[in-house]
Structure 1
């Protein structure tokens, strides 16, 4: 299990999200390639039609469609094996923190790249002029990143609106395919306005501006950083920061359906949380069409192995770190399935054994109330082998009462939790006591759903495997945070 939870180191595959600027994605890709002529690396470039519903220069611009586009592109890259992604778009970097927790790849920060470039190459600079869109300016992307160390300056409002924004977003602007002298003159005027305010260095906060970088450098009296070049080099030689991993429990549900809900409820109850966000992420495949485990084991019914494996595979693909199966009988198939997965199945039966050894150290004879299939396979006996704990099972008549409590017309799988099923379970617990059991395992995940009287509960200590499994999942999740 520990081996499956370790990340395997492998060479980086880079991805560049295109389509967010006129030429920014291609320009960044080209500069990545030029930066490492002797180095071999994989790079994927993804660009799909993206017609934004507003202009990113506008103060009331809504970036929602851009968020969807960037998220979908990054997930596509993730599925193709990309582990380091570049998003050459300053507007997108205003919301990338929202996307990061939902991604399993690293996204290189464009702002971190510019900070590193300024710190390394211009240590004496204290006032920085920023050429960016009105939306990014109002989002304070640069102020938050640079404001504590540098004096951040922007073009005066009229120059910002009529000069800079028109040069990039206007009818004659760069994004509409114009790269003529008027665009260059407007950018130069915006730079000069920043210099008049005291800027010692110009930071382009629009990824279209580097297209004019050489021409601008010839006409502007202070250094101008090529933000696309800085981004490409930073990605290649520094890499990106992966968001803090949020541990996720995968749950094979539907075996049975009520037991799945009970397991999830217990995970929530056992998690110490001050708010919603403190709870553990779970992904559940509620698949009640998995063939009945007991029917297969006892009478040759349809084999559930492939259905269980397919369900586990979907949980694995959904990003599960461990898989929990709240079904005792299904653990007769776990050994076969686990070998086919890249994430571990947390074995409920072994967790029950460890629970008894820890919390009931003086108990050496334990009654097992489970489906006839679970009893017949001996999976619990195998799990308890060498533990010093003797497992006792009911005689034929009382095993029939256990099965009636689970599968009978008035059993728990038919939606009943009181009445005859409760009487059958109580009688079975008393039978275990008479056999010499010091505790009882409720070895079918439906059995804990049956309501018992206080007198019945007090007969012997009752071990609920669902609660044990939930507790183990919570403990592992907390360790991995």
Structure 2
């Protein structure tokens, strides 16, 4: 979730081109509906329109519409638009697909019409709809006016002609610029048929109909101006903000195998019964980030800029939080967090909180980590903040830990058995000999070598191995499935 404040002044982006005349009418009515006593008080609006070839009403045109509308919304995002206005009923048949792939709220035109009808005609239960064949087949209005509370009725065909579709999309239809004559007569006949069917109110499901409403003339049943209802709904702030789909940004490549392990834990621990129940992930795999340990204990290159640049790419990619599956990299988190607009979920902080919650009587915690992590004191400080004391291996055993991670037969070289396993086992048993019963695997490569859980020493002694990668994964999942809430770094 974003931490920046929301600008109270809206900037509307109006998607034009799908029905140029209808879109322009909605735009005009939005300006007119804005409560402003001077030019300065009007909302900022962007009306964008490009040539759109798929002007038909069939499914082929819908595929073109999907890409056209999506590209338009992405362009709006880059221009600082805060709210999308989509004056096209046909495009609302795939509005959920659009919402799933943008952070911007899209003002729902059918919801605007429904709200208007409920407010102006509270007793109306039989709703007449003037919509294209495609919108009718998709039962768009039936989803907003559901049975049994409502009954949606559509005009019947006349002599084999779909009155509404022909009036708008026909060779001499409204979309061709014909605002009088046959198209108007067809729409008038459609309205009369709806009245004959007992409709109590008629709502257009095409933005072009408002352009010829005066030509259609008075009807036995009220004919709603859907464009005006939509414009008023948008400018009065009725839509509110949409809860965007939560996305976890992952700083990958630190190291590559640990990144894959973290992603696997996200997937395995997510409560999901189908693909769509899983969490959105954005991974920026950058193995060229300078080695964190070499910088902390030697003269290696500073990874700060590389880490920050990777985090900014995740922020630009609309991530809500950032996860860095690298313990040593957390020595640099305090440097970069103040310059980010989204929080880094601190793996060390959440791991220590897990220890305190799970083992309330715990006083000493063993830490197996890179020398950079140990010497930076990041785990020691995090543990001390919760009244816990860090116990690390002595110099000789710490050298074996580093060999198990960075050696020619270490985890980073792709080994998970043999000498690296023996080296880590020796360090664990030495910590156990000091009375430590809980040990943090403080390098994200170590859980690949020894999964978290109970460790049984050669002498039969037992200790609990805590996997910070697993704790981080579960914490990120909790934020995502909770649907929001502030994340502390």
Does TM, normalized by the shorter one, top 0.5? Answer: yes
**Partner Cα separation in structure 1 for residue 56 and residue 385 of structure 2:** 69
Q: Which residue number corresponds to residue 464 of structure 1?
A: 467
1:367 and 2:361 are equivalent in the alignment: no
Q: Which residue number corresponds to residue 56 of structure 2?
A: 55
The CA deviation string for residues 159-211 of structure 1, in whole angstroms up to 9 with x for no partner, is 67364323211222221233342332332233233333344433221111111
Q: Which residue number corresponds to residue 143 of structure 1?
A: 142
3-state SS of paired residue (1:23): helix
Contact 2:157 2:163 in 1 (8 A): no
Backbone CA RMSD of aligned residues: 2.4
Question: Structure 1: any 5+ residue segments left out of the alignment?
Answer: none
Cα deviation for residue 408 of structure 1 reads 0.5
Cα deviation for residue 307 of structure 1 reads 0.9
Cα deviation for residue 213 of structure 1 reads 1.7
Cα deviation for residue 125 of structure 1 reads 4.2
3-state SS of paired residue (1:264): helix
**For residues 449 and 124 of structure 1, do their structure 2 counterparts lie closer, same or farther at Cα, with a shift above 3 Å needed?**
closer
Contact 2:321 2:343 in 1 (8 A): yes
**For residues 140 and 385 of structure 1, do their structure 2 counterparts lie closer, same or farther at Cα, with a shift above 3 Å needed?**
same
Cα deviation for residue 421 of structure 1 reads 0.3
Contact 2:328 2:370 in 1 (8 A): yes
**Partner Cα separation in structure 1 for residue 353 and residue 124 of structure 2:** 62
Cα deviation for residue 478 of structure 1 reads 3.3
**For residues 160 and 343 of structure 1, do their structure 2 counterparts lie closer, same or farther at Cα, with a shift above 3 Å needed?**
farther
Equivalent residues in 2 for 1:262-411 (5 A)? 262-411=261-410
Cα deviation for residue 153 of structure 1 reads 2.8
Answer with 441-450 or 37-46: which moved more.
37-46
Could you list the runs of 4 or more consecutive aligned residues of structure 1 that deviate by over 6 angstroms after TM superposition?
none
3-state SS of paired residue (2:217): helix
**For residues 20 and 14 of structure 1, do their structure 2 counterparts lie closer, same or farther at Cα, with a shift above 3 Å needed?**
same
Answer with 425-434 or 248-257: which moved more.
425-434
Answer with 177-186 or 347-356: which moved more.
177-186
Determine which of 15, 18, 32 is the counterpart of 1:17: 15
Determine which of 37, 40, 43 is the counterpart of 2:42: 40
**Partner Cα separation in structure 2 for residue 198 and residue 450 of structure 1:** 73
Cα deviation for residue 147 of structure 1 reads 5.0
1:101 and 2:104 are equivalent in the alignment: no
Q: Which residue number corresponds to residue 238 of structure 2?
A: 239
**Partner Cα separation in structure 1 for residue 475 and residue 319 of structure 2:** 15
Answer with 387-396 or 121-130: which moved more.
121-130
**Partner Cα separation in structure 2 for residue 235 and residue 160 of structure 1:** 38
Cα deviation for residue 474 of structure 1 reads 2.4
**Partner Cα separation in structure 1 for residue 419 and residue 146 of structure 2:** 71
3-state SS of paired residue (1:249): strand
How many residues are treated as equivalent by the alignment? 475
**Partner Cα separation in structure 2 for residue 125 and residue 448 of structure 1:** 63
TM-score calculated relative to the size of structure 2:
0.90
Answer with 28-37 or 96-105: which moved more.
96-105
Cα deviation for residue 72 of structure 1 reads 2.0
**Partner Cα separation in structure 1 for residue 435 and residue 318 of structure 2:** 45
**Partner Cα separation in structure 2 for residue 66 and residue 160 of structure 1:** 28
**For residues 160 and 337 of structure 1, do their structure 2 counterparts lie closer, same or farther at Cα, with a shift above 3 Å needed?**
farther
Equivalent residues in 2 for 1:70-149 (5 A)? 70-146=69-145, 148=147, 149=149
Cα deviation for residue 328 of structure 1 reads 0.9
1:31 and 2:22 are equivalent in the alignment: no
**Partner Cα separation in structure 2 for residue 311 and residue 235 of structure 1:** 37
Cα deviation for residue 150 of structure 1 reads 4.2
**Partner Cα separation in structure 2 for residue 319 and residue 25 of structure 1:** 29
**For residues 155 and 345 of structure 1, do their structure 2 counterparts lie closer, same or farther at Cα, with a shift above 3 Å needed?**
same
**Partner Cα separation in structure 1 for residue 14 and residue 273 of structure 2:** 39
**For residues 450 and 44 of structure 1, do their structure 2 counterparts lie closer, same or farther at Cα, with a shift above 3 Å needed?**
same
**Partner Cα separation in structure 2 for residue 160 and residue 234 of structure 1:** 37
